[in-house]
Structure 1
């Protein structure tokens, strides 16, 4: 078995313990599988570090609960930062156990912590994968539960995070209503 497969299997083993279920399987495990599918589709020649970061994006996400953080934007941002650190730490340990170098581990950790988004191609690739997974599997349920203005705000924020190539691909692959498509047509700001 390759070191890549050892790392992916270890991430899956951790995520299989998620008590939250989605489509009859642990939520984090399903999310990791979807992330890998999109990583392979969008970046067929992805580095091992990117493949691992995609699979481990939400490793053990359930252990840090949003409800344990203060309400409001500051509490939300603290929760997200703590999650990113947790994901990076867990994946770093798994990669070390699988025999990856410190450099590979460091690059993967930077991706999971979103360090250098818009400046680092690998970090940006992970963000593009995340956005595609959201749009493909999670956007419709989100939109059904929220008012139109909130949906538009999330679409604008999602588009802003994506690379120009990814936004162009979204327009080609998704049949978006005109009021949402415009967010992907605008230049990155």
Structure 2
């Protein structure tokens, strides 16, 4: 998919922001700033899943977690209410950060508004691009974060997370998810969650 100069400049600035992440993640023998690696994975999966994605959707995928470490989970109550409040605040924070960068690059307000709309996950299941973004988020989780997650949580918790993830996805997302390579235990838990 062809990339405009503005898109490449926005990607560069998003990546520079995410490269400041003090949290590190190892992948294939290298250490990366966690949110920089996540952003690049979002772009890679979007390109596979929806190669004709609009520029707004490409921008959104790349900045979906921009500077997330600046609002740590621990700054909210460690319960369901605190978690939901944190997630809502993060969406607004990401939209504001992304908008500032997109203005600097020279994007028009319509594009900036569209990226914010998608970052705020508006009209999930109704808006095709919001749904595609959600599918990509879920696929990135399943491909890169699900297996390490298995070692930290019991089967019931994993089953519940998988069921919640599945409900958010489209039929196309389900098909892409089932084509991923899982460990034996990983696949067993996917099958179990989907049969309940």
Q: What is the TM-score of this pair, normalised by structure 1?
A: 0.93
CA distance in 2, matches of 1:99, 1:181: 47
Question: Is 2:81 the partner of 1:71?
Answer: no
CA distance in 2, matches of 1:179, 1:134: 15
CA distance in 2, matches of 1:74, 1:92: 27
Match of residue 168 from structure 1: 175
Match of residue 159 from structure 1: 166
Say if 1:183 and 1:165 are closer, same or farther in 2 by CA, change over 3 A: farther
State the Cα distance separating 1:181 from its structure 2 match: 3.0
The equivalent position to 1:123 in structure 2, one of 123, 126, 130, is 130
Match of residue 11 from structure 2: 8
The equivalent position to 1:180 in structure 2, one of 155, 167, 190, is 190
Question: Is 2:17 the partner of 1:17?
Answer: no
8 Å contact 2:76–2:86 — kept in the other structure?
A: yes
Question: Is 2:111 the partner of 1:104?
Answer: yes
TM-align CA RMSD? 1.6
Question: Is 2:69 the partner of 1:62?
Answer: yes
Question: Is 2:42 the partner of 1:35?
Answer: yes
8 Å contact 1:32–1:57 — kept in the other structure?
A: yes
CA distance in 1, matches of 2:195, 2:141: 18
The equivalent position to 1:92 in structure 2, one of 68, 74, 99, is 99
State the Cα distance separating 1:173 from its structure 2 match: 3.2
Report the 3-state secondary structure (helix = DSSP H, G, I; strand = E; otherwise coil) of the residue aligned with 1:177.
helix
State how many pairs are aligned: 186
CA distance in 2, matches of 1:178, 1:146: 15
8 Å contact 2:19–2:36 — kept in the other structure?
A: yes
Report the 3-state secondary structure (helix = DSSP H, G, I; strand = E; otherwise coil) of the residue aligned with 1:75.
helix
Say if 1:88 and 1:61 are closer, same or farther in 2 by CA, change over 3 A: same
CA distance in 2, matches of 1:104, 1:121: 16
8 Å contact 1:17–1:26 — kept in the other structure?
A: yes
Unpaired segments ≥5 residues, structure 1: none
State the Cα distance separating 1:96 from its structure 2 match: 1.4
Match of residue 82 from structure 1: 89
State the Cα distance separating 1:183 from its structure 2 match: 4.9
CA distance in 1, matches of 2:195, 2:54: 29
State the Cα distance separating 1:174 from its structure 2 match: 3.9
CA distance in 1, matches of 2:53, 2:192: 29
